[in-house]
Structure 1
């Protein structure tokens, strides 16, 4: 009860009718279906590889999930929406992969399945990023930190034997754009940027130094 009272001080859930909640979840599922299909279609030979390079990494999905979480009526609904988003996105992506392309990437399915299972907890926490106080600032800095780290590690994304070095500045530009959007939309006022940016930079330096993403994902992410 004490924890609940403290969280209410960070951000108060908005009232929503059952219809609004259902439509909110349906919208998240629809976005998941569209992005899941789009992510699969950009793997088609002849499509600009920059789209594949973005879709194969965590950044774009953390970006979308963060916005869906924050702009939900409550933390509980945020958790439901994000599970619906990842569930629909991954279902479309891997059903297409398995039954249309006749390929079963078991390791990738397991990895993203774990992401989907963990995502509601992350979404519940992420909802409070649009609140007040130091806790909201730290939460707001988390997705920005991951984007900073992954964007920085793009410098190692391609080996000399590859032919896509020209993509690196474009990809870094996309990551920078996503970071700017999050910094503009996650805080509930612009003054909080003075706190969020330093936190994100410090966390990013720590994560890069200890290779946190590499240790957690063990090469499953395209950039690692």
Structure 2
């Protein structure tokens, strides 16, 4: 396969910025009253963003492009989301901005590593299992979720279904070897059990995420 040209790399990053703008605006719009709370609840958690960032990373031309694309995605998405929040809604959520800003800063390093998830080594298997671990852990913790105003418990099974679909998509698309997919799932289940038992996500993110 011929190496990607500079133009191809730049175009892929520009498309990623456009995706970030669209998803940032969509995440803000579904936050409005009258919108089905399931959309807002998905957008307000880590799972969907880990899912998108993983796909952007593994299908990039190189680890450096993966890092650039994921940083560009979060940068454009968060810019649109919080510009709308501050300028249109006249609300300044400093704590939430700091949380997601930290996520944006560390995202290129995660994306750089995630690019190697499609390899055939043990390292690749471990890397590929990490986003699935986070999604599984957060999906399990949805059983304790207090959706918007403590009145939407009926949505929890639907949200868990969305998380299972994200896991299934990653298992189908990320590993090139189906046998490796089984190993990834087993490792992700083991790691997610450890995260849940030790309350790792809650200790790291401390209430910044809707489920934690």
Distance in 1 between the 2:55 and 2:118 partners? Answer: 10
**Aligned residue number for residue 169 of structure 1:** 157
Give ranges in structure 2 of 5+ residues lacking alignment: none
Distance 1:21 1:95, change over 3 A: same
**Aligned residue number for residue 7 of structure 1:** none
SS at match of 1:182: helix
Shift of residue 193, structure 1, vs aligned partner: 1.5
- Asked if 1:193 corresponds to 2:185, the answer is no
Distance in 2 between the 1:162 and 1:47 partners? Answer: 16
Mapped contact 1:14–1:74 kept (Cα < 8 A): no
Per-residue CA deviation, residues 152-195 of structure 1 (Å, 9 max, x unaligned), is 00000028x71101110000000000000000011012111221
Mapped contact 1:83–1:119 kept (Cα < 8 A): yes
Q: Residues 10-159 of structure 1: matches in 2 within 5 Å?
A: 15-158=3-146
- Asked if 1:205 corresponds to 2:193, the answer is yes
Backbone CA RMSD of aligned residues = 1.2
Shift of residue 14, structure 1, vs aligned partner: 6.8
TM-score normalised by structure 2 residue count = 0.97
Mapped contact 1:28–1:81 kept (Cα < 8 A): yes
Mapped contact 1:138–1:199 kept (Cα < 8 A): yes
Distance in 2 between the 1:212 and 1:27 partners? Answer: 34
Distance in 1 between the 2:2 and 2:124 partners? Answer: 17
Distance 1:87 1:194, change over 3 A: same
Distance in 2 between the 1:110 and 1:177 partners? Answer: 29
Distance in 1 between the 2:95 and 2:167 partners? Answer: 29
Distance 1:67 1:94, change over 3 A: same
Mapped contact 1:149–1:208 kept (Cα < 8 A): yes
Number of matched residues? 211
Greater than 3 Å deviation, 4+ residue runs: none
Distance in 2 between the 1:108 and 1:185 partners? Answer: 31
Distance in 1 between the 2:66 and 2:188 partners? Answer: 23
Give ranges in structure 1 of 5+ residues lacking alignment: 1-12
